[in-house]
């Protein structure tokens, strides 16, 4: 893969319209759903065939009909009716709010009560008054999924719904974008979960051999990194920010990684996630990553996921280049 195509991985799809730089203040961040994500069949199913039908069935007796989650949920009116029906309690808030200020106030009361019922602290919630009121579809979906799962767990939420999201940030040099996969529903059934591989068996059936495998892979990694003047002492922690993983991948696969493509000294979890996501995309493009790996797991220093990724390089490039099995 050429340097230019690497950099293009970070660019927005052509059909996404960027906001004017003056519309996004310095250091400001926004999240966009590209049309390809909106048209994803499972994403559409979650919205229209499950959540909207569930809301309309729940509020049928109140003659409330939702036709768009973005346009109909933002002002708190329908959320007010839905939450009162689900929780079987009455909120002390005005029934009809006509002004922007009163709508925000009403929405705040509803979300505060919902968060208490869901036992979610506001900083950890994937929704807020600001995001819901601004018609953020992903925030609205996260809230509705949480309400359905908590109050009516029999609602047939499709498992494993995830969408690619574009994060936009205003920096000193202009707008910067990156792609992030956002999970909306969990992989709850056996069918949706990836099949077990050798590392699942290793950690489950032979945990005493994990150290041996780590030593073999670390020896391989340090041998390949030696020419870059780098070394690794802890596989579990030193790959969490994605930097060494990217440099190792570039070294082995002959990539030239432009400094615009990744963060050489990441200073936040978001920048670490960006690096790891890019590394996994490169491995997938090369056909090396045969088992799905979540970039969040690497950032969170999950030993099994980290070993799984490094082994994909080990079996291709260790020794004479023929595939290797994990050490016994």
User: What domains can you pick out in the chain, each with its CATH number?
Assistant: 15-190 (1.10.418.10), 194-317 (1.10.418.10)
Q: Which residues contact 57 (CB under 8 A, 6 or more apart)?
A: none
189 DSSP 8-state letter:
S
Which residues are 164's β-sheet partners? Answer: 181
Cβ pair 167, 31 in contact under 8 A: yes
CA distance 225 to 244: 9
Reference 144, options 56, 64, 37; nearest CA is: 56
Q: What is the pLDDT of residue 51?
A: 95
Instruction: Report the 3 state secondary structure along 290-319.
Output: CCCCCHHHHHCCCHHHHHHHHHHHHHHHCC
What CA–CA distances, in Å, run from 80 to 65, 75, 116? 14, 9, 14
Q: How many CB atoms lie within 10 A of CB 313?
A: 23
Q: What is the pLDDT of residue 173?
A: 75
Q: What is the pLDDT of residue 14?
A: 39
Cβ pair 75, 97 in contact under 8 A: yes
pTM above 0.75, yes or no: no
Burial status of residue 1 (CB atoms within 10 A of its CB: 0-12, 13-18, 19 or more):
middle
CA distance 43 to 158: 9
What torsion, rounded to 10 degrees, do the Cα atoms 217, 218, 222, 223 define? Answer: -40
Per-position pLDDT tens, the chain of length 328? 333 332 333 333 434 444 444 455 666 777 888 888 888 889 999 998 999 999 999 999 888 899 999 899 888 889 999 999 898 888 877 777 778 888 889 899 999 999 999 888 777 788 999 999 999 999 999 999 999 999 988 889 888 888 888 888 877 777 777 777 888 988 754 444 555 566 666 666 667 778 888 888 999 999 999 988 999 999 889 999 999 999 999 888 887 788 888 999 998 888 999 999 999 988 888 888 877 788 888 988 888 889 889 988 988 887 544 444 444 4
CA distance 222 to 230: 7
What CA–CA distances, in Å, run from 236 to 46, 99, 303, 304? 36, 53, 5, 9
Which residues are 30's β-sheet partners? Answer: 168
Residue 285 DSSP SS3:
helix
CA distance 137 to 47: 10
CA distance 278 to 180: 10
Q: What is the pLDDT of residue 54?
A: 94
Q: What is the pLDDT of residue 312?
A: 87
Q: What is the pLDDT of residue 223?
A: 92
């Amino acid at each position: 893969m050429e340097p230019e195509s690497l950099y293009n991985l970070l660019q927005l799809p052509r059909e996404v319209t960027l906001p004017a730089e003056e519309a996004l203040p310095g250091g400001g961040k926004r999240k966009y759903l590209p049309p390809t994500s909106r048209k994803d069949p499972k994403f559409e199913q979650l919205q229209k065939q499950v959540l909207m039908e569930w809301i309309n069935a729940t509020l049928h007796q109140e003659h409330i009909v939702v036709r768009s989650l973005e346009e109909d949920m933002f002002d708190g009116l329908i959320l007010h009716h839905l939450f009162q029906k689900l929780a079987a309690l009455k909120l002390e808030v005005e029934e009809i709010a006509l002004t922007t200020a009163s709508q925000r106030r009403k929405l705040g009361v509803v979300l505060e009560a919902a968060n208490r019922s869901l036992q979610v602290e506001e900083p950890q919630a994937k929704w807020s008054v600001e995001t819901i009121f601004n018609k953020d579809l992903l925030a609205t979906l996260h809230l509705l999924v949480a309400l359905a799962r908590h109050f009516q767990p029999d609602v047939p939420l499709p498992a494993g719904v995830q969408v690619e999201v574009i994060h936009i940030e205003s920096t000193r040099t202009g707008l910067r974008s990156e792609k992030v996969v956002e999970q909306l529903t969990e992989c709850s059934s056996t069918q949706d979960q990836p099949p077990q591989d050798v590392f699942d068996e290793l950690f489950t059936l032979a945990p005493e051999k994990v150290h041996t495998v780590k030593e073999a892979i670390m020896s391989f990694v340090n041998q390949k990194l030696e020419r870059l003047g780098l070394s690794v002492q802890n596989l579990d922690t030193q790959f969490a920010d994605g930097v060494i993983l990217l440099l190792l991948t570039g070294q082995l696969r002959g990539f030239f990684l432009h400094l615009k493509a990744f963060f050489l000294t990441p200073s936040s979890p978001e920048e670490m996630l960006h690096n790891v996501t890019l590394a996994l995309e490169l491995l997938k493009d090369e056909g090396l990553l045969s088992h799905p790996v979540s970039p969040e797991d690497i950032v969170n220093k999950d030993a099994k996921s980290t070993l799984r990724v490094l082994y994909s390089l080990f079996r291709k490039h260790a020794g004479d280049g023929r595939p290797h099995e994990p050490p016994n």
